[in-house]
Every structure is written in structure tokens, then in C-alpha cells.
Homo-oligomer: A and B are copies of this chain.
Amino acid sequence: MVRSFATRVDASTHKVEYPDIQDTCKRIGAAPTTTKSDGTPLYTLPMIYDPNTGIALSDSFLIAEYLDKTYPDTPRVIPPRTRALQAAFIVALESKLGALFQFLMPKATWALNKASEAHFRKEGLEMKAEAEFGAINTLLTKEDEFVMGDTLSFADFALGAILVTSKVLLGEDSEEWKRIANWHEGRWGKLSQSLEKYAKV
């Protein structure tokens, strides 16, 4: 029952602790989005339950599609004819940002254990992450704020989710986040700020 990004549809957001995700999804009827390495189903957030239709749904892209279709009078996040391209943008982010995820992982995993965090942090990942963001930057047009110019779309939310996660994990006042925010003429700092109003963290 997480609805972080959509606007202008009445919704309430519920936080679900990790150990409770699977049971909550099963109870409400949201399908697993992928499988674990052992082959068993993996249930993930976000998921929604729509009392107007009785539909429960997981996977942020499928949720976005559903909301666009079910509530056509609210802002669309997948503009007409761009579904496949939006989905490809997510694949591009995943394929290009591997070092960033490695860079953030110790912060996520060892958030409560500072000594271990330093131990697990690998050298050089920040520099690699900067090069990765450089690859994303070359996809984008310099003067455009959003992926589709002045039109906000799912691709921005996907990128924004990564940026906001980075900011939260590294800490808004950390030197690391400040450096990321300034890479590529401050694009990532500006974008995360523009998108922050849609994120409930």
C-alpha cells in the first residue's frame, strides 16, 4: 500500500517493514515481482491496493501503467507511445549504474555499524560512479531539466528514486552526496530537488 509518486489521486501511504513485505503482499493479493537466487518468489515494494477496483499490484512500472489507464484525467507518467522507451530507460539505468549501487551498498547494509561500513567499502567506486552518471548524462540533453525535456515522466521518477536513495543513504549533509549533487554541472542535485516533492521518504 505504498503510493509514493502519483499525484492528484487520493491515496494514503503505509510503510511496511522488510520482514512483513511478503505476508502483506500475499494477503492483499499483489504478485511477486521477481525470483530469489534460490528460485523462490520475491515480493517487493512498492505495491498498491486500489479500493475502487479491488486490484492489488506490485512493480513500479506496472503500477504507473495501471494508474495512467485507470485514472486518465490525472497526470500521465508514461506519455503516449513511450511505454517501451520508458521501460528501456530503466534497463539503461540498471545496466549503467552498477558501481553506484556497490558504492551505496555498505551504507545500506551497515548503516548501524560504522566500523564494518568502512571495512566493506571498496576503493575507487565513487570515481566509477561518477563515470557511470556521466554515461547517463550523455543520454540527456544539456538544457533539459527532465528526460523528456519539460515533460515529467516515469524515467525521471526512476532516476529520481536512485538520487533520493543516494541522498538518504549518504546523508544530505555528507561530503559524498554534495559531490554527487555537483557532478555534471549540478544536474543530479537539481533533479533530486525538483523531484523531492513527489517522494515520501
Question: What number of A residues sit within 8 Å (CB to CB) of B?
Answer: 27
Question: A115-144 CB contact bits vs B (8 Å, 1 = yes)?
Answer: 000000000000000000001001111001
Provide the bound-state CA to CA distance between A85 and B92, in Å. Answer: 9
Name which of A79, A85, A140, A151 has the most chain B CB atoms within 10 A of its CB: A85
Copies of this chain, count: 2
Question: A85-100 CB contact bits vs B (8 Å, 1 = yes)?
Answer: 1111101111110000
Task: Please give, as numbers and ranges, the residues of chain B lying within 8 Å of A89 by CB-CB distance.
Answer: 84-85, 88-89, 92
Q: How far is the CB of A158 from chain B (nearest CB, A)?
A: 10
**Pairwise interchain contact B95-A91, C-beta atoms closer than 8 A:** yes
**Pairwise interchain contact A151-B82, C-beta atoms closer than 8 A:** no
- Could you give 27 example pairs across A and B, Cβ below 8 Å? A81-B149, A81-B151, A82-B148, A84-B89, A84-B141, A84-B144, A84-B147, A84-B155, A85-B86, A85-B88, A85-B89, A85-B148, A85-B155, A87-B138, A87-B139, A88-B88, A88-B139, A89-B89, A91-B91, A91-B92, A91-B96, A91-B135, A91-B139, A92-B95, A94-B95, A95-B95, A95-B96
